[in-house]
A and B are shown apart, each in its own frame.
Chain A
Amino acid sequence: MIATREQLGPRGAVGGGRRLGRSGYLVGALCIAICAVMFAPLAMSVLASLKPTAEAAASPPTYLPHEISLDSYARLWSYQEGLPAYLFNSAGTALLAIVLTLVLTVPAGYGLARFPIPGKELIFVVLLLALIVPYQALLTPMFLMFAKMGLTNRLLGLAILHTAIQLPFSLYIMRNSFSAVPVELEEAAVVDGASSWQILRTIYIPSGVPAIVTVALFAFITSWNEFLGALVMMSKGSSFTLPLVLAAARTETSLGGTDWGMLQAGVTISIIPCVLVYLLLQRYYVSGLMSGAVK
């Protein structure tokens, strides 16, 4: 096999080169066309958010703003409870969800990766259950439970729900990451008389940073974007997250009809953190997706 490759390799490479030359321009043109199509809706939304009030409400609509204005953002800023309140709710929930997810899954991943656990099979069944049952199907009993515990309309309640969604995936990522840490590193520390907690802090957490970033990233994206759970748990206007208030605003606004400019300003603001975080941490996102989907 290797011999064959070495003998025929150069001819194969020449063939490949020729093919590349013929189709190179086509591939390039296709890539650019695809980028344009995929990018257009986002660009149109941002441009629509920058139209002055009258132009944003015009029918038929204009493609590009005739002049740039921040009117739509000003209206969104003071819409009902005000944009800062909704940003606070969304960011606060996401932050709580990240903290909860990490506090639960970092030690649990360590426990699963490095210790013999009594009843491990049963525990796996329980965790698998959490993986299999879609949270959309659990909202009815969860709502009842949260109502009794006083967790509806509370950021902590929604963060708990978002943590429950993310937990199986996050635990899986943390356990795999800790399992890959060489045991020799730990043995040296054990000889020095370090406790398991010290070993977790000084050896496992530093080597698990990529997994921790992945888990935090997915917790953020899930929580920031999640809609149905928030719709069920947050009924008071003052506790709405960003997607909720925008969904409500699509039908009821100060202008009488739908305030399209303000709506797209809200879409733009909601999208920015996701895109930024993705572009900065693309590597973690893709690796998390690969191991998560092939769980």
Chain B
Amino acid sequence: MIRRSRGRLIGLAYLAPALLFVLVFTVYPLCQMFWMSLNNWSLIAPPRFVGLGNYRRALDDHQFWVSFVFTLKYTALITPPLIVGGYLLALLTSRNSPLRRFTRTVVFIPVVIGLGVSSLLWYWLFSTDFGLINHALMDLGVISSPVLWLGVDADRSNLAIIVSIVWKVIGFGMILFVGAIQAVPTEVNEAAMVDGATYWQRVVQIILPLTLRTVLLVTLVSAIGSLLAFDQFYIMTAGQPHNETATSVFYVYLNSFPYLKLGYGAALSMVLAATILVFTVVQLLLTRWMHE
């Protein structure tokens, strides 16, 4: 009995530093954020309590909705190519041969580099007069004069950024799909082959259903990532034209830091965290379902 109660304290002692860290650097800021969101808060004047005023203000704030809708649109547009593309790449490379392994490694390399740095790379590639993309498209005769890709038209900027991000993160889904496809029992696959099923019939009838949970999970993880997009827009368009490409995180950043409207920024952060929460809860339920 003495040993057991000592064990409990010992366990807590090992856990304490990490727990304290989370309390100080995550839980406390979260509570603080809620309190800030109920106040007009700048670094200059003392905070003034406004209740739900900041939230009401968000509802009437045109830019809040522009950012929110743009972020949803970006997420809706980028998720299908990431998931479908990643899955096709996984089908292509899931068997272990040297060339397939090599392809997986190459496709995954952009995932490990920084998002900020890859955005700088594509900022150059998409540059109107100095970028290789306009230059190559003109050499191929696809366009006759340089296209203004970034920061002039919201949809065209979005397209360019989606191309860059698909390149950057398509390997993430691919690697997880490869893991799931490799876990499909060989017997099931062989039995279908014996029955004369073609490759695509097997994909649709066997492989896809058996890997569906992973597909759903990666879709959610990927969508959450897209809803939190910032670096690529900050670097490649700076939110232009007229903040039409300023995402939700971008708008939180603008309010909190350059404008120093910290209370309003906190309220927008709360809305953002609540949006993400919905997706995360689905993700956690799905994970539990996967482990059953």
User: Is B one of A's binding partners?
Assistant: yes
Q: Which residues of A contact B (CB under 8 A)?
A: 1, 4-5, 8-9, 11-13, 15-16, 19, 23, 27-28, 30-32, 34-35, 38-39, 41-42, 44-45, 48, 57-61, 63, 103-105, 107-108, 110-112, 114-118, 123, 126-127, 129-134, 136-145, 147, 160-161, 163-164, 167, 171, 196, 200, 221, 224-228, 231-232, 242-243, 246-247, 250, 258, 260, 263-264, 266-267, 270-271, 274-275, 277-279, 282, 285-286, 289-290, 293-295
Q: Which residues of B contact A (CB under 8 A)?
A: 4, 7-8, 10-15, 17-19, 21-23, 25-30, 32-33, 36, 43, 89, 92-93, 99-100, 102-103, 105-110, 112-117, 120-125, 127, 129-132, 134-135, 138, 167, 172, 175-176, 179, 187, 190-191, 193-194, 199, 214, 217-218, 221, 224, 228, 230-231, 234-235, 249, 252-253, 256-257, 262, 265-266, 269-270, 272-273, 276-277, 280-281, 287, 290
B121 touches A118 (CB 8 A): no
B12 touches A138 (CB 8 A): no
Instruction: Evaluate whether A127 and B193 lie within 8 angstroms (CB atoms) in the complex, with A115-B14, A118-B12, A225-B114 already known.
Output: no
Chain A neighbourhood of B235, CB < 8 A: 247, 250
Instruction: Evaluate whether A5 and B190 lie within 8 angstroms (CB atoms) in the complex, with A137-B273, A260-B130 already known.
Output: yes
Candidates B18, B113, B115, B221; contact of A275 at CB < 8 Å: B113
A167 touches B121 (CB 8 A): no
Candidates B19, B114, B120, B273; contact of A133 at CB < 8 Å: B273
B26 touches A129 (CB 8 A): yes
Q: Which residue of B lies closest to A149 (CB)?
A: B24
A294 touches B290 (CB 8 A): yes
B135 touches A60 (CB 8 A): yes
Chain A neighbourhood of B131, CB < 8 A: 61
B190 touches A12 (CB 8 A): yes
Chain A neighbourhood of B130, CB < 8 A: 57-59, 61, 258, 260
Q: Which residue of A lies closest to B164 (CB)?
A: A41
Q: List 30 A-B contacts (CB under 8 A).
A: A11-B194, A12-B191, A12-B194, A15-B193, A16-B193, A28-B99, A34-B89, A35-B103, A39-B109, A45-B121, A61-B130, A108-B17, A115-B14, A116-B8, A127-B22, A132-B277, A133-B30, A136-B272, A140-B266, A160-B25, A161-B25, A164-B22, A167-B21, A227-B114, A228-B249, A232-B257, A246-B120, A274-B112, A279-B105, A290-B176
B127 touches A260 (CB 8 A): yes
A117 touches B191 (CB 8 A): no
Q: How many A-B residue pairs have CB under 8 A?
A: 295
Which of B8, B28, B132 has the most C-beta atoms of chain A within 10 angstroms of its own C-beta? B132
A105 to B120, CA, bound (A): 34
Which of B19, B230, B281 has the most C-beta atoms of chain A within 10 angstroms of its own C-beta? B19
Q: Which residue of A lies closest to B214 (CB)?
A: A294
A82 → chain B, closest Cβ, in Å? 19
B8 touches A130 (CB 8 A): no
B231 touches A38 (CB 8 A): no
A38 touches B110 (CB 8 A): yes
Chain B neighbourhood of A137, CB < 8 A: 33, 252, 269-270, 272-273, 276
A144 touches B262 (CB 8 A): yes
A15 → chain B, closest Cβ, in Å? 5
Chain B neighbourhood of A145, CB < 8 A: 28-29, 32
B17 touches A107 (CB 8 A): yes
B103 touches A247 (CB 8 A): no
B190 touches A111 (CB 8 A): no
Candidates B7, B19, B112, B120; contact of A250 at CB < 8 Å: B120
Chain B neighbourhood of A225, CB < 8 A: 113-117
A8 → chain B, closest Cβ, in Å? 5
Chain B neighbourhood of A9, CB < 8 A: 190
B23 touches A132 (CB 8 A): no
Interface SS of chain B: helix
Instruction: Evaluate whether A110 and B14 lie within 8 angstroms (CB atoms) in the complex, with A31-B92, A61-B130, A144-B262 already known.
Output: yes
Q: Which residue of A lies closest to B100 (CB)?
A: A31
B122 touches A41 (CB 8 A): yes
Q: Which residue of A lies closest to B7 (CB)?
A: A115
A193 to B124, CA, bound (A): 64
Chain A neighbourhood of B134, CB < 8 A: 60
B132 touches A8 (CB 8 A): no
A39 touches B106 (CB 8 A): yes
Q: Which residue of A lies closest to B33 (CB)?
A: A141
Candidates A39, A103, A105, A140; contact of B33 at CB < 8 Å: A140
Chain B neighbourhood of A271, CB < 8 A: 113-114, 117
B199 → chain A, closest Cβ, in Å? 7
Candidates A4, A32, A58, A267; contact of B191 at CB < 8 Å: A4
B114 touches A12 (CB 8 A): no
A266 → chain B, closest Cβ, in Å? 7
A143 touches B256 (CB 8 A): yes
Candidates A28, A108, A167, A294; contact of B217 at CB < 8 Å: A294
Which of B32, B120, B218, B231 has the most C-beta atoms of chain A within 10 angstroms of its own C-beta? B120
A94 to B9, CA, bound (A): 33
A60 touches B129 (CB 8 A): yes
Which of B33, B135, B230, B265 has the most C-beta atoms of chain A within 10 angstroms of its own C-beta? B33
B119 → chain A, closest Cβ, in Å? 8
Chain B neighbourhood of A295, CB < 8 A: 287
